[in-house]
Copies of this chain bind each other. A is one copy, B any other.
Amino acid sequence: MGRMLDLSRLRALHAVSVHGSVAGAAAALGYTPSAVSQQIAKLERETRTTLLERRGRGVALTEEARHLAETAQELLSIVERAETTLEERRGQPGGLLRVAAFASAARGLMPGALADLARRHPALDVRLTEVDPHLSVDLVARGVTDLAVAHDWDIAPLPAPEGVEQAVIGDDRCDLVVPQDHPFTRRAVIRRADLGGERWVCQPPGRVCHDWLMRTLRAAGFEPDIAHVAEENHTIVALVAAGLGVAVVPRLGTGALPPGAVAVPLEPGPVRRLYAVWRTGAARRPAITEAVRTLREHWAYAAPLPGDLPSVRGGAGAVRQ
């Protein structure tokens, strides 16, 4: 007697309400759009209510659907709380832990940390997704992911929506990367006032590295000369190694510098602070606390400490996790 509102269908409706489209909901739930569409069609049949109406190319929720999605939200948060206290009573991390991280953390920090976590807690099913940095906090708040590794920049603080908590993992610093024959390689430290007259290799506008560079150089009185633009840090470093310019590159996730490129400390350089972010409702979940603990541990072990100087010499020797 399937005579009752079904939680998975309500979850589908809720996802549509949150993401604004069937396709978005499907992506978030790990289904095809067709599956979500069928679920909601069944929900409509069971409740004898119209929930979705086509609006242009997408769909819009009816009044009843909005109300139903709201109670679905309520139900889902109760379920999450129940799962949390259940896991808490067991003490052992377990269940599904969906983790999101921005690109360089996904490359530089997560592999070791998550492998460690999975090794120590076999009952835990960890799944990583690489996401845009400025999306991660919102993804956590909306319940798409359970834990996110986010960062702010000294010029753009991390948003803190209702219902999420955060903890600092550590600070990631940036170096100036220059070709090996560059005069800076003979200097112990570079200051902002020294940066005039260089040709720059940089990320596209809108990315934090780009914005920091423009802002800093202009504040020091220079008009930046952006000679080359690339998305990936690896590409940027390769361009520098080829002698095409200099770049500001974060230590995390950059990996070993290729022959021909050398990292030089920049004082004061841009600093981004890494955070772990999770929902307050799951704060006491052992999987969360363990994951955060492991991230901080691996940061301390693998990443350069705040006052730590990297090896100035580049090339195959200077490997970073």
A-to-B contact residues, CB < 8 Å: 1, 3-8, 11, 30, 47-49, 63-64, 67-68, 71, 74-75, 78-79, 81-83, 85-86, 89-90, 94-96, 123, 125
Give the interface SS of chain A, mostly helix, strand, loop or mixed. helix
Contact yes or no, A3 B96, CB < 8 A: yes
Q: List 24 A-B contacts (CB under 8 A).
A: A1-B96, A3-B96, A3-B125, A4-B7, A4-B8, A4-B11, A5-B79, A5-B82, A6-B7, A6-B8, A7-B7, A47-B83, A48-B90, A48-B94, A48-B123, A49-B89, A49-B90, A64-B86, A67-B86, A67-B89, A68-B86, A71-B82, A75-B75, A75-B79
Docked pose: A90 CA to B64 CA in angstroms: 9
Q: How many copies does the complex hold?
A: 2
Contact yes or no, A78 B71, CB < 8 A: yes
- Nearest residue (CB) in B for A7 is B7
Docked pose: A7 CA to B68 CA in angstroms: 16
Q: Which residues of B contact A4 (CB under 8 A)?
A: 7-8, 11, 79, 83
CB distance from A171 to the nearest CB of B (A): 35
Q: Which residues of B contact A30 (CB under 8 A)?
A: 1
Cβ contact of A47, chosen from B6, B68, B86, cutoff 8 A: B86
- Nearest residue (CB) in B for A64 is B89
Q: Which residues of B contact A123 (CB under 8 A)?
A: 48
- Nearest residue (CB) in B for A63 is B89
Contact yes or no, A67 B85, CB < 8 A: yes
CB distance from A279 to the nearest CB of B (A): 15
Query: Given known contacts A3-B95, A48-B123, A49-B90, what 7 new A-B pairs fall within 8 Å (CB)?
Result: A1-B30, A3-B96, A3-B125, A6-B7, A6-B8, A67-B86, A78-B78
- Nearest residue (CB) in B for A83 is B5
- Nearest residue (CB) in B for A71 is B82
Q: Which residues of B contact A96 (CB under 8 A)?
A: 1, 3
Q: Which residues of B contact A3 (CB under 8 A)?
A: 95-96, 125
CB distance from A40 to the nearest CB of B (A): 14
